Amino acid sequence: MVPPERISRFLSYLLRHRPKDRPLSFDPWGFAGWEEVAARVRERFPETTEEQIRAVIQDSDKQRFELRKDQVRATYGHSFPVDLGRQNVEPPAELYHGTARDLAQSILREGLRPRGRQHVHLSTILDDAMAVGRRRDPFPAIIVVAAKAAHDRGVRFYSSGPLFLVESVSAEFLSLYRC
Ligand code: HQG
């Protein structure tokens, strides 16, 4: 059986980055047709059933995907513009961003930028930010975002499962976490 994580990564690749070699049509909200997506996954992993793909979507710890009757989309992480249709919400006082130590100084100087994606991703829980940062560095730096203060000054925060998304955060709202 194909490990669920491989299917999840492949779905993320298809739905966040619309690769040219795996053409799918997307609506403005980032949804693609379920049948088409399931067919792409089964081309890549022929032994996978549609039920297994559904299970990966439903079991995703970070609610990475949204499946409607005959459509599916990624809930965050896009490298192409989509209208997620999310409401601006009031965030908690602090949110956390885990990153590599060698990026921290530039972030504290320039602010948090989405780089290749549509949004910056922020965690509500320190341990989650550590896990995000460990993808890049075994001893990650944690940036603390004064989220409520930024929100009060007009920065729009969107909630997505356990994450908050934001277009960017200027340096005045950032500090380095010290344990
Ligand atoms: C960095 C995964 C220098 C930023 C994860 C990050 C997450 C700057 C990188 C989700 C910068 C962008 C997203 C600045 C930002 N100077 N570096 N001014 N501003 N950066 O991958 O947050 O499991 O787009 O620190 O768990 O690492 O795939 O963002 O290192 O939730 O669902 O630019 O992806 O989720 O990298 O990861 P990314 P991320 P999944």
pLDDT block averages, 10 residues each, the chain of length 179? 95 96 94 97 95 96 94 97 93 98 97 96 97 97 98 96 95 92
C-beta 18 within 6 A of ligand 1: no
Work out the angle at residue 60's Cα, subtended by the Cα atoms of residues 97 and 14, and round it to the nearest 5 degrees.
85
pTM > 0.75: yes
Residue 148, pLDDT score: 98
Per DSSP (E only), the strands in the chain are 32-33, 65-67, 71-74, 94-99, 120-123, 141-146, 157-160, 163-166, 174-176
Residue 179, pLDDT score: 67
CB 134 within 8 A of CB 66: no
Residue 23, pLDDT score: 87
Work out the angle at residue 96's Cα, subtended by the Cα atoms of residues 86 and 174, and round it to the nearest 5 degrees.
100
Q: Determine the distance separating the centroid of ligand 1 and the alpha carbon of 112, expressed in angstroms.
A: 9
Which ligand 1 atom is nearest residue 123's CA?
Answer: 31
Which residue CA neighbors atom 33 of ligand 1 most closely? 115
Which residue CA neighbors atom 5 of ligand 1 most closely? 132
